[in-house]
Amino acid sequence: MDDRPKVALVTGAGSGIGRAAAIALAGGGYIVILAGRRMERLQNVQAEIEARFGSQNRPYPIATDVSDADQVARLFDELQRRYRRLDLLFNNAGRGNPPGSFLDWSAHQWQEVVGTNINGMFYCLQAAFRLMSTQTPRGGRIINNGSLAAHTPRPNSPAYTATKHAVTGLTKAASLDGRQYDIAVGQIDIGNAMSELAGRMADGVPQANGEISAEPLIDVELVGQAVLRMANLPLEANVLFQTLMATKMPFVGRG
């Protein structure tokens, strides 16, 4: 029986959902590589994990902008050099919509969202496939962070909505292509978890009928635990899509 600690990579690990997932995975016995653009934030998460669980499976921060293919390549080179394998990628890093009306967005603002939410997710998934398909024992799991926006939009959200719809296509295609390599690919679609991105919903956000209404939120630690449960499945089983949302949020139904 292989009793070595499993190795997980979390992108966007410096805050919000990424932080919660990293903490949950570390608590579940994983060695966690923390990737994100801001090293200071990653080090704060590292310190929090060590304070909670000790430094036996010490987390390792690597500053990375996933929209840069060269930085992603360096991330995976360092990961492979230190740990020789990867058991889980939580492909989480993402950007929200640019501020203001989409009528006023610049091409650069659009490309920033696409660069992180689509390109960055692909770069990390591709690099994970390359490692997981050749390591011994072969295989691993990839969990893409989608969104309820992968199913239906909010007002004035074409950048985020379009990229999250693309994530769903990437998940389906990668799940199919992963079969031959024993790589399980799934997606978690999260609605209204308390984070920097979603916290404003408690103050009121535009609804489809034009009103501004506050929306309920769930504790982001619930998302971390959901990611851990998906991660701990044996590779012969896969959660292709999971939706985790505040029970009373306005997602299903009208208005």
> How buried is 145 (Cβ within 10 angstroms: 0-12 exposed, 13-18 middle, 19+ buried)?
buried
- Tell me the CA end-to-end span of the chain in Å, nearest whole number: 53
**Region 50-59 average pLDDT:** 89
Predicted TM-score (pTM) of the model is 0.92
DSSP label of 222: H
Axis crossing angle, helix 158-178 with helix 107-114, rounded to the nearest 10: 30
> Sign (positive/negative) of CA torsion 7, 10, 11, 12?
negative
252 CB-side CA count, 13 A: 6
Closest to 122 in 3D by CA, of 154, 180, 163, 61: 163
Strand pairing partners for 104? Answer: none
Residue that the structure tokens 């590779």 belong to: 235
pLDDT at 254 over 60: no
Closest to 89 in 3D by CA, of 220, 230, 252: 230
Which backbone phi and psi does 212 adopt, to 5 degrees?
A: -105, 120
Give yes or no for a contact between 13 and 45, defined as CB atoms under 8 angstroms apart: yes
Domain ranges, ordered by start, for the chain: 7-245
Question: Could you tell me which CATH class the domain 7-245 is placed in?
Answer: alpha beta
| Digit-coded pLDDT (tens) for 125-183 | 999 999 999 999 999 999 999 999 889 888 899 999 999 999 999 999 999 999 999 99
Predicted local distance difference test score (pLDDT) of residue 193: 81
Residue that the structure tokens 């394998």 belong to: 85
| Digit-coded pLDDT (tens) for 224-248 | 999 999 999 999 999 999 999 988 8
CA distance 145 to 16: 12
Predicted local distance difference test score (pLDDT) of residue 57: 81
Cα angle: 177, vertex 188, 96; to 5 degrees: 105
**Region 8-23 average pLDDT:** 97
Tokens of 21: 């997932």
Q: Which residues are catalytic?
A: 160
Residue type at 85 in one-letter notation: R
CB atoms within 10 A of CB 196: 12
Tell me the CA distances in angstroms from 69 to 124, 194, 208, one per residue in order: 9, 30, 37
Predicted local distance difference test score (pLDDT) of residue 214: 67
Predicted local distance difference test score (pLDDT) of residue 1: 46
Tokens of 228: 């851990």
Burial string for 219-239 (b: 16+ CB within 10 Å, else e) reads: ebebbbbbbbebbeeeeeebb
pLDDT at 202 over 70: no
| Digit-coded pLDDT (tens) for 61-105 | 999 999 999 999 999 999 999 999 999 999 999 999 999 999 999
Of 32-36, 49-53, 151-155, 248-252, the least confident = 248-252
**Region 20-33 average pLDDT:** 97
Predicted local distance difference test score (pLDDT) of residue 192: 82
**Region 28-45 average pLDDT:** 98
